[in-house]
């Protein structure tokens, strides 16, 4: 019997989430409720929120987990009975959140005119990021 767990997140950017999933070595498929509800009835509205189904590879095997939009952020949905990655689920969630936060910071820094000049990963897994901005 499956047991799905819903993990509340602060993940709200689809583009950053997609990048993060790829950086962690996974593949994904984007779906929307409109697509699922209207299969065969034409195209879906592109402004509809999208959900992501995440796979280990691009071969389309059984999904590992998914991200479901809840009107303001993505919730991580995991079937703990079928979790088969070579890492603890809590370790994975920590890595996911860390990489997502890193990507948000880099995106916001770049959008504000900063350049990444250094990055150091400490023994404890924390990341020290140095950015700079030259004023004229």
Q: Return the axis-axis angle of helices 14-23 and 89-111, rounded to nearest 10°.
A: 120
Lowest mean pLDDT, pick from 24-28, 36-40, 129-133: 36-40
Decide if pLDDT at 17 tops 50: yes
d(CA 69, CA 50): 7
Query: pTM score, two decimals?
Result: 0.82
pLDDT of residue 136: 73
pLDDT of residue 44: 45
Confidence of residue 39 (pLDDT cuts 50, 70, 90): very low
């Amino acid at each position: 019997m499956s047991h799905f767990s819903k993990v509340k997140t602060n993940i709200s950017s689809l583009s950053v989430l997609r990048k993060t999933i790829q950086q962690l070595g996974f593949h994904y498929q984007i779906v929307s409720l409109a697509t699922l509800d209207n299969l065969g009835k034409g195209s879906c509205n592109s402004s509809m929120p999208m959900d992501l189904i995440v796979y280990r590879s691009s071969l389309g095997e059984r999904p590992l987990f998914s991200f479901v939009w809840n009107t303001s952020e993505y919730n991580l949905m995991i079937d703990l009975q079928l979790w088969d990655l070579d890492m603890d689920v809590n370790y994975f969630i920590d890595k996911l959140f860390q990489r997502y936060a890193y990507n948000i910071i880099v995106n916001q820094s770049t959008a504000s005119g900063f350049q990444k000049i250094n990055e150091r990963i400490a023994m404890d897994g924390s990341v020290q990021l140095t950015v700079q901005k030259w004023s004229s």
